[in-house]
Amino acid sequence: MATAMTGRGMAFIRSISGELQSRLQVLGAGPLQLSCLHTSTSLESKHWERNNKKMFPPQKPDEPRRPAEVYHSRRQIKYSKDKMWYLAKMIRGMSIDQAIAQLQFNDKKGAKIMKEVLEEAQEMAVKNHNVEYKSNLYVAESNSGKGRYLKRIRYHGRGGFGIMDKVNCHYFVKLVEGPPPKVEERTSFDQAKEYVEYLKSRTIVHSL
């Protein structure tokens, strides 16, 4: 994305953001009071992959079987995060076979990469995470995130310039064992009916 601004404006904004960041770091030193601030995230922490190391205690034989979860991601894909989001939103909730089929015949560049990621995740699930049937998985979460951008100069007319971002994105996917959950379809008629029932159920409280 090329932003056409003067150099001085850029420096000003950068200084402001630097001050804000330092102030946030100072404020985030008290973890007990300010639990909403993220204190330990840095640019190198790969949080999504760490979810794969989470251990659960052994289950007793009468408990329902806990479904296996596999987290996988790919970093620094040379694609835009907004364009990737469309594909990620498409496959949310699909079974893994359906997702791979849809991505195989999609014309976008990100579809090929996403298909590779899903196949890697499926293989990981069967090999390392004790998943019995490789088709018995569905896409529970699928997201795209901004990667580290490279900055270049885009030359404009009259000696103007813009900073061009070479975009990269990350792609995150979580596969869960089991059949995909059925989404209840609510038609407009159902919604209208519910609204009318709500209107009918109104009463006057604390009346005489």
Binding site for other proteins (CB under 8 A): 6-8, 10-11, 53-59, 61, 65-69, 126, 128-130, 132-134, 150-153, 157-161, 163
The residue (of 43 and 208) whose beta carbon lies closer to other proteins is 43
Could you tell me the smallest distance in angstroms from the CB atom of residue 86 to other proteins?
29
Could you tell me the smallest distance in angstroms from the CB atom of residue 51 to other proteins?
11
Could you tell me the smallest distance in angstroms from the CB atom of residue 56 to other proteins?
4
**Residue 95 DSSP one-character state:** B
The residue (of 103 and 137) whose beta carbon lies closer to other proteins is 137
The residue (of 10 and 192) whose beta carbon lies closer to other proteins is 10
CB neighbours of residue 139 within 10 Å:
22
The residue (of 173 and 177) whose beta carbon lies closer to other proteins is 177
Taking each helix axis as running N to C, give the angle between helix 109-128 and helix 81-91, from 0 to 180 degrees, rounded to the nearest 10.
50
The residue (of 43 and 204) whose beta carbon lies closer to other proteins is 43
Burial 46-74 (b: 16+ CB within 10 A, else e): eebeeeeeeeeeeeeeeeeeeebbbbbbb
Could you tell me the smallest distance in angstroms from the CB atom of residue 77 to other proteins?
20
- Long-range Cβ pairs for the range 27-36 (8 Å, 24+): none
Burial 115-128 (b: 16+ CB within 10 A, else e): bebbeebbebbeee
Could you tell me the smallest distance in angstroms from the CB atom of residue 42 to other proteins?
20
The rounded distance, in Å, linking the Cα atoms of 20 and 14 is 10
